[in-house]
Chains A and B, each alone.
Chain A
Amino acid sequence: MTSKFKYFLGATTAVMIGLSAVAGHADAATLRMAWAQDATGLDPHKQTAFSSLRLLELIYEPLVRLDADLKIIPGVATAWEFSTDGKQLTFKLDPKAKFQNGAAVTSADVKASFERILDEKTGAANRANYLSIESIEAPDAGTVVFKLKQPDAPILTAMTDTNSSIVPASEIAAGTIGTQAVGSGPFKLEKWDPNSKAALVANKDWAGGATGVDGIEISVLPDETAILAAMRTGQIDFALLNDPLIATLVPNEPKLQLNRAPLLAYHVLQLNPARKPMNELAVRQAISCAVDRKAVLDTASLGEGQVTGPITAPFFASDPNSLFCYKQDVEKAKKLMADAGFADGFSATVIAATGEPPTAAAEAQVLQSQLAEIGVKLDIKMMELNVYVDTWLKGDFDMAVALNGGRPDPYTMYNRYWTKNGNLQKVSNFADDTLDKLLQDGRAETDPEKRKVIFAEFDKQLAEKAPWIWLYTGYGYTAQQKNVQGFVPMPTGSLVSLGKVTIQ
């Protein structure tokens, strides 16, 4: 072989490898993603399921968003301001913001979107967060003013929700929200075959700048073991995982990386204070003292999470160790039971949803064995999710093992349960003057530090009155190939940072 020929061969090989690498990269610019549960619909104002929000937040944008530290950052709006009396909230819209149909996002669209949410005919669950809105004004195309009936600090955080996304006024008028997905977010929905596949393409006009990938191809793989297998073979770049048992296997794979973010959602044992003997404070407190929260976390969820008090948002949360009976104390629990006249214990039924969360059955079993120590005999009743939800909403249970959604703002998170006219009073069955007043104060106060003090007291009171036994917060999991970069896990479980993810 002559040296010239060798050189030629070497150069050709190098070029070919280079070309194939380039070709590989061009292919790789589509992020192949998998999740076990698909969205159930496309109406951003109506769909509240976790799985639906994960798809919709890539297509739609609200006025403001949250960052990984739960600070409010620009969305469709670039600036916002409360008036000094707290009764007026003004937004300046991003002049670059455009819908995926090419139209600019204007104040008329914002007004129409919120009016749609407030219209009872829409059936938007998020409407409950906006009852303080008196009127919405659009003085010019780039300004929106919300006039409020009363000071309402949490309303701004509520607006970060994907369920408060801005949709085109024209689509509302045409009645196509829910059948066509036209948002102003980083990706456009190109194709959606429910429970099978979705294709997203980058929105070149996105006001947030260029996306890191050309598109996202989402496959619905209902079995998370299969998701892990598909990632192992390199078929999938990025996946959302629910089951801690599967997630903890990811680090064993050399090519894969597991992302974890502590979530705001909380695992809880809900007692029903409307039923005997849970109407007795001492009994509820006894249950709280008898439960070893860390053991529940370790056994049911492989230690994947943190013991929590009622408030889970880091800025407002108290140190769990400072809360009532957060250290298991069986003797104290027995004494409280005896004081309440239940030295021999009692029997109760606890409901839990099958597979939702995946840890529900295990949690119920651990609680069953822990409460047996103070003579409380729990009968576990597992239910299909929808049956569970129906039973839960009617408040038709002695106790319930639940995974309830968390919110960045304690008022938005808890007014539904612990204010006297909360929408879910029927579920909590617990009205208390102190809790009600603390929540109202926290709503009206705009100074973050003062709010922190108010909610710390609320946290303490709620743990002590023990209508529910807060257990732990888990992690939100995503798994990715190591060449995927730039993903930021969020405490809300949001995948919105996929807008900036790149494939190396």
Chain B
Amino acid sequence: MSYVIRRLRAFPLVLIGVSIIVFIAIRLVPGDSITAMLGTEAGLLTPQQRDSLAIYFGIDQPWPVQYWRWFTGLFSGDLGISVTYGKPVLSVILERFPLTLELALLAMLIALSIGVPAGIFAATRNERPADLGVRIAAMIGQSTPSFVVGLVIIYILSAGFGVLPTMGAFTPFWQDPLQNLGQMILPAITLGCAFASSVTRVTRSAMLDVLSDDYVRTARSKGASERSVVWRHALPNALVPVVTLSGIEFGYLLGGAVIVEQIYALPGLGRMVLEAILQRDYALVQGAVLFIALNFMIVNLLVDLAYAALDPRIRLEGR
């Protein structure tokens, strides 16, 4: 327990660091909210017009003042106002988050339910043709970019079968589960496929390691069935690297999957951040990155806790 508290105590420091880096990075990039809105027409503005637009966008003050204003707002839960959406940053993020969370969960579900069995299957048939087949498939899956998979799926469905899920707006699961799944399943497959390949490869090699361990030989010599050896004795230990990998991947997915969201026109966090960067919507970029960083840290903590649950030999320091 004290371990968790100690980890949680480090969160604010990391978040402040992240916020400062993002704050500076986005401002170092040439162009600002004014050129983003007006494009080359910004050249027609008089200095006074420029000044009043700078006040409108909240970029008239020196950087430290801007940061301090934003930072002190955080304590009252105020992440600022997004100029593109005309709404508080937090509400824009929370509107997009359910989609991103659902997409990440579905993609993980698909990836793990394909990748773990495939990895075990390959490991138990080490260097046999079936193993080779799985490894080749995993290699192809891992090296095909998701935009290719996505566009091929869309093309085959629309040109070959004349069907396509509704694109553009997002229907939350609790409003219409069927329509929601119809919208989410293809993006989830697109994301899940690539990740399933990594899971397969990691599961396979971890399984091979574990299967050659002494305790597995002991289990076998005690007459345990092959099934029990693989699933009960070997698998839990082989899962440790898979959990690490999944944790990191899940953390990334919670930051949004820009390319897949772009192709399937899903209004998720990834596209929102991309648009916000292009529009130089500073408050939204800062708020979103902070939110994503927080998610990442929570997922990391959960992964560390999961280690201990999976492998009793692992002791979290401070326990």
Interface string of B256-283 (1 = CB under 8 A from A): 0000001111010001100100111000
Contact with B along A30-58 (1 / 0, CB 8 A): 00001000001110001111000000000
In the complex, the chain A residue whose C-beta lies closest to that of B33 is: A386
Q: State A124–B42 Cα separation when bound (angstroms).
A: 9
Contact between B49 and A391, CB atoms less than 8 A apart = no
Q: Is the CB of A229 within 8 A of B44?
A: no
B144 at the interface (CB under 8 A from A): no
In the complex the two chains form, is A120's CB within 8 Å of B158's CB?
no
B30 at the interface (CB under 8 A from A): yes
Q: Is B312 an interface residue (CB 8 A)?
A: no
- State which size class the interface on B falls in: 35 or more
- By a CB distance below 8 angstroms, the chain A residues around B140 are none
Contact A219 B272 (CB under 8 A): no
**B264 surroundings in chain A (CB, below 8 A):** 226
B221 interface residue per 8 A CB criterion: no
Contact with A along B156-184 (1 / 0, CB 8 A): 01110011101111100000000000000
| Complex contacts, A42 vs chain B, CB 8 Å | 86
Contact B43 A426 (CB under 8 A): yes
From A234, A235, A389, give the contact of B40 (CB < 8 A). A389
Q: Cβ of A378 < 8 Å from any Cβ of B?
A: no
**Contact between chains at B31 and A390 (CB < 8 Å):** yes
Question: Which candidate, B50-58, B211-219, B225-233, is the interface stretch facing chain A?
Answer: B50-58
Of A61-69, A98-106, A194-202, A336-344, the stretch lying at the interface with chain B is A194-202
Interface magnitude class on chain A = 35 or more
Instruction: Tell me which residues across on chain A come within 8 A of B155, comparing CB atoms.
Output: 225, 229
In Å, the complex CA distance between A404 and B31 comes to 18
Q: Contacts A196-B168, A225-B154: A123 and B43 contacting too (C-beta < 8 A)? A: no
Which A residues touch B279, using CB under 8 A?
40
What CA separation (Å) do A235 and B168 show in the bound complex? Answer: 11
Provide the residues of chain A in CB contact with B280, threshold 8 Å: 386
Interface membership of B45, Cβ < 8 A = yes
A199-246: which have CB < 8 Å to B? 219-223, 225-226, 229-230, 232-235
Chain B interface main SS type: helix
Contact B39 A389 (CB under 8 A): yes
Asked if residues A120 and B46 are in contact (CB atoms below 8 Å), the reply is: yes
> Roughly how many angstroms separate A387 CA and B26 CA in the complex, as a whole number?
12
Q: How far is the CB of A164 from chain B (nearest CB, A)?
A: 13
Indicate if the CB atoms of A230 and B36 lie closer than 8 Å: no
How far apart sit A120 and B46, CA to CA, in the bound complex (Å)?
8
| Pairwise interchain contact B31-A221, C-beta atoms closer than 8 A | no
Assess whether B164 is in contact with A230, with CB atoms less than 8 Å apart.
yes
Instruction: Give min CB distance, A184 to chain B, whole Å.
Output: 22
Q: Assuming the A-B contacts A120-B52, A233-B163, are A393 and B43 also in contact, with contact meaning beta carbons closer than 8 angstroms in the complex? A: yes
Cβ of A392 under 8 Å from chain B? yes
Q: Please pick, from B43, B85, B157, the residue contacting A423 in the complex, using a CB distance under 8 A.
A: B43
Given contacts A386-B36, A405-B41, 16 further A-B pairs with CB under 8 A are: A41-B37, A41-B83, A122-B52, A123-B52, A127-B44, A178-B86, A195-B272, A197-B168, A223-B263, A232-B162, A235-B164, A384-B31, A386-B278, A405-B40, A424-B43, A424-B44
Residues of A within 8 A of B (CB): 34, 40-42, 46-49, 120-128, 178-179, 193-197, 219-223, 225-226, 229-230, 232-235, 384-387, 389-393, 404-405, 416, 423-424, 426-427
- CB pairs A–B below 8 angstroms (29 shown): A40-B36, A40-B37, A41-B84, A49-B37, A49-B39, A121-B49, A123-B34, A125-B41, A125-B42, A125-B45, A125-B49, A126-B44, A127-B44, A195-B84, A196-B267, A222-B265, A223-B263, A226-B265, A229-B157, A230-B167, A233-B157, A235-B164, A235-B167, A385-B39, A389-B39, A390-B30, A393-B40, A405-B40, A427-B40
Interface residues of B (CB under 8 A from A): 29-32, 34-46, 48-50, 52-53, 56, 83-86, 151, 154-155, 157-159, 162-164, 166-170, 262-265, 267, 271-272, 275, 278-280
A-B pairs, top 9 by smallest CB distance, nearest first, are A219-B168, A386-B31, A229-B158, A123-B53, A196-B267, A390-B30, A390-B31, A125-B41, A221-B265
